[in-house]
Structure 1
Amino acid sequence: MTTSSTDQPSAARADRVGARKEFVATNFGVLSISVVFVILFAFFSLQTDAFLTTNNLVNVLRQVAPTVVVAMAMTFVITTGAIDLSVGSIVGLTAAALAILAESGNPVVALVLTLLIGAGIGAINGALTAYGKLQSFIVTLAALTAVRGVALLITDGYSTPISSSFLLPLGNGKLLGLYTPTWIAIITVVSAWYVFTQTRFGRYIVAVGSNAESLRRSGVDIRKIQMAALTLTGVFAGVAGVLTATRLASGSSNSGTLFELEVITAVVLGGTSLMGGRGSIIGSAIGALTLGVISNGLVLLRVDVYWVPIVQGIILIVAIFANSTLFSRIVGHQQ
């Protein structure tokens, strides 16, 4: 049986519509947060002349860099169906540890030890979650409290200045008009995107969140994947602690307070599902930039700074509701 000439255009249109729906469903997180970002960027540009200046935009990129870095690792963790609430406390501990170690010894050794501290805490979280079979929420919630307590203990609640000429450029150095933290964030995003989308490990991350039992039956040790993801957030939180301390030229145990809320909000805004199985590196990066634009814009509009976490919390709830509801509808219509 042959297809008539009148049916061929209809079939072609149906194929194009189906392709568009599939594209929207696949990239829904990135598309939605991109629209929000553009709207907010335009709004603040029109409301205050100081926003759309080179100095301000460069500073926004530097300030949001730690969030971008940790959001990359958090995307891996949340895609597996887990979560890490300890990243803010790790930032505080590593920032304080870097300052103390640098002022009492070799700054290179201090930097290495600081990153190892972050990796160690992440590995403990991962081991307890993957091999101890504890909920990541409970494990990292306990770590949130314990790690912050250690940070307060070693500092007595005081900040420690950093004067090392080797370390300070990590937070304040410039290359081609952008600060070092921005370049580190860019490299992190590119690397995370490649690993997440182009490697076997990235595919395993998605599979753990979507169908862990099937992956286990295929011979993959899902515990190693889960532990690797949580260790990664520890390492990247350590990097964020280094960037924060060197930007401020001091290490404080109070660094990273509510940082975990900001990171998780950025990741969820970018379309990563809290239920696991779906994530977007680019979406998480744009989500972090969106939060940075909101914080900066509100400050320039002279809105009380205490409104920033309130706005972020509201955005998180709206994002979770909108992403889950709209995504389900799009997929449902497509099917």
Structure 2
Amino acid sequence: MQRLEEFNMSNNEAIIASKAKRGRKAANLRQYALIFIMIGLFVVFTCLTNAFFTPDNLLNMFRQVSMICIVGVGMTMIIILGDIDLSPGSVMAFVGVMGATVYKMTQSPFLTLVFSLAIGAGVGFVNGFITAKGRIPAFITTLATMQIFRGISFIYTGGNPVSVFDEGFTQFGTGYVGAIPLPVVLMAAVVVVGIFITQYTRFGRHIYAVGGNSKASQWSGISVDRIKIGVFTLSGLFTGLAGLVMAARLGSGQPSAADGFEMDVIAAVILGGASLAGGRGTIFGTVIGVIIIGVLANGLTLLDVSSYWQQVVKGLIIVVAVLIDTKSRKKA
């Protein structure tokens, strides 16, 4: 009997390992396909308009997608968990309003940065705590906080922007490190942190484990609630940084800013290979997804394609990406 149980356990482990291997293979193939699509888009838009493949335009494009990528790193971890966050746009607006207010009061870029990160992390902690401890789906939790923080932003400002044109504030969105825009440098730093966490830490391995099978992870001794709260808090921290960059680019904290921003982020993450079912996704894939979204938006704008049609294209991208994910999970 004992030998039979040992055989069944080893057989189950072999099956799980085989499925994981097939899943990794499918994910790698998808990332290669995305890289070819990205290169193809660069070639197409370079041929269609002379203004696309120029240093100024490319730097501008990466500056524009930097906020999507910064938030996307945290969103990737959340989606790997099998959850989703609908609040980033509202949180960014709230952080922008409060960050602009703090700078006007203190004239300190450092305090403004710390305060903005703290607000973002605090909101993320609230989202994670309610989701984990209240056993409420993240979709519902973040839908509520999306409305709450957007409303607080409007109440606090009376619907008016909090304008700050001082260079100490605007440098977060318009400054440079050498020849590279500061938002792009911040994006690169967040991506490196995200890759390190997800690929080289126990916390990162636990994120994948919880997303793959929450109950099995709990039985194996992983604190599922702690992982969820930690991921949402970290994602909120990144969202706070993106909110400050956005307000600095605009020269004001605007309560109506970033409306629908989370859709761009989710589109990029899903396009990059993260599975809405959880347990699958990479930061590198998200970066490729962000670049594809950015290239499409930039190229279509240069070709004078209506922004309404650009919204249609983004919606189609989400549908196609989800269909591909569904098919690949069935094969795995």
Whether 2:272 is the aligned partner of 1:262: answer no
Q: Is 1:47 equivalent to 2:43 in the alignment?
A: no
Structure 2 residue aligned with 1:17: none
Structure 1 position 70 matched with structure 2 position 59: no
Q: CA deviation at 1:112?
A: 1.8
> For residue 302 of structure 1, what is the aligned residue in structure 2?
304
C-alpha distance in structure 2 between counterparts of 1:176 and 1:313, whole Å:
37
How much does 1:213 deviate? 1.4
**After alignment, is 246-255 or 177-186 more displaced?**
246-255
* Mapping 1:173-252, distance limit 5 Å: 173-252=175-254
**Are 2:88 and 2:262, in contact at CA under 8 Å, matched by a contact in 1?**
yes
Partner residue, 1:122: 124
1:18-97 to 2 correspondence within 5 Å?
A: 24-97=25-98
Out of 146, 156, 174, the residue aligned to residue 144 of structure 1 is 146
Deviates more, 1:315-324 or 1:125-134: 315-324
Contact 1:207 1:277 in 2 (8 A): yes
Give 1:311's aligned residue: 313
Structure 1 position 327, deviation (Å): 5.3
Q: CA deviation at 1:311?
A: 1.3
Matched to 2:313, the amino acid is V
CA distance in 2, matches of 1:141, 1:200: 30
Normalising by structure 1, what TM-score?
A: 0.89
Contact 1:28–1:327, Cα closer than 8 Å, also in 2: no
Match of 1:278 among 277, 280, 289: 280
Pair 1:327–1:132, CA change in 2 (3 A): closer
In structure 2, the partner of 1:103 is 104
Task: Identify unmatched segments of 5+ residues in structure 1.
Answer: 1-19
C-alpha contact 2:107 2:168 (8 A) present in aligned 1: no
SS of the residue corresponding to residue 36 of structure 2 reads helix
- Shift of the alpha carbon at 1:21? 7.3
Deviates more, 1:262-271 or 1:21-30: 21-30
- Asked if structure 2 preserves the Cα contact closer than 8 Å seen for 1:71 and 1:266, the reply is yes
**Superposed CA offset, 1:12-49 (max 9, x none):** xxxxxxxx978642413422322221222111111111
What RMSD in Å do the two structures reach over aligned CA positions? 1.6
- Alignment-mate amino acid for residue 138 of structure 1: I
Does 2:169 match 1:167? yes
Confirm or deny: 8 A CA contact 1:29 1:280 kept in the other structure. no
Deviation at residue 234 of structure 1 after TM alignment: 1.2
SS of the residue aligned with 2:168? coil
Normalised by the size of structure 2, how large is the TM-score?
0.90
Distance 1:101 1:112 in 2: 10
**2:174–2:182 Cα contact (<8 Å) kept:** yes
SS in 2 for 1:103: helix
Contact map agreement 2:77 2:207 (CA 8 A) in 1: yes
User: Partners of 1:115 and 1:193 in 2: how far apart?
Assistant: 20
Q: Tell me, what secondary structure is at the counterpart of 1:45?
A: helix
Determine if contact 1:29/1:272 at 8 Å carries over to the other structure: no
State how far apart, in whole Å, the 1-side matches of 2:34 and 2:216 are.
Answer: 32
Aligned-partner Cα distance in 2 for 1:31–1:63: 24
CA distance in 2, matches of 1:246, 1:304: 27
Which residue type is aligned with residue 95 of structure 1?
A: G
Instruction: Show the 5 A alignment for 1:311-330.
Output: 311-326=313-328, 328-329=330-331
Which aligned segments of 4 or more residues in structure 1 are displaced greater than 3 angstroms? 20-24, 326-329
Structure 2 unpaired stretches of 5+: 1-20
Provide the rounded CA distance (Å) in 2 between the counterparts of 1:28 and 1:115.
36
CA distances 1:212-251 after superposition (whole Å, capped 9, x unpaired): 2121112221100011111112111111101111122221
Partner letter of residue 121 of structure 1? V
Alignment partner of 1:111: what SS? helix
- Distance in 1, Cα, partners of 2:39 & 2:70: 22
Aligned length: 311
| 8 Å Cα contact 1:30-1:280 kept in structure 2 | no
Task: Select between 49-58 and 95-104 the one with higher mean Cα deviation.
Answer: 95-104
2:307 partner SS:
coil
Counterpart-to-counterpart distance in 1, 2:281 and 2:268:
12
Distance 1:39-1:307 versus aligned 2 partners, 3 A rule: same
Mapping 1:147-158, distance limit 5 Å: 147-158=149-160
Identity, % of aligned positions = 36
Instruction: Tell me the residue number matched to 2:291.
Output: 289
For 1:49, give the aligned amino acid. N
Q: 1:264-300 deviations in whole A, cap 9, x for unaligned?
A: 1110001000000111110001101111111111110
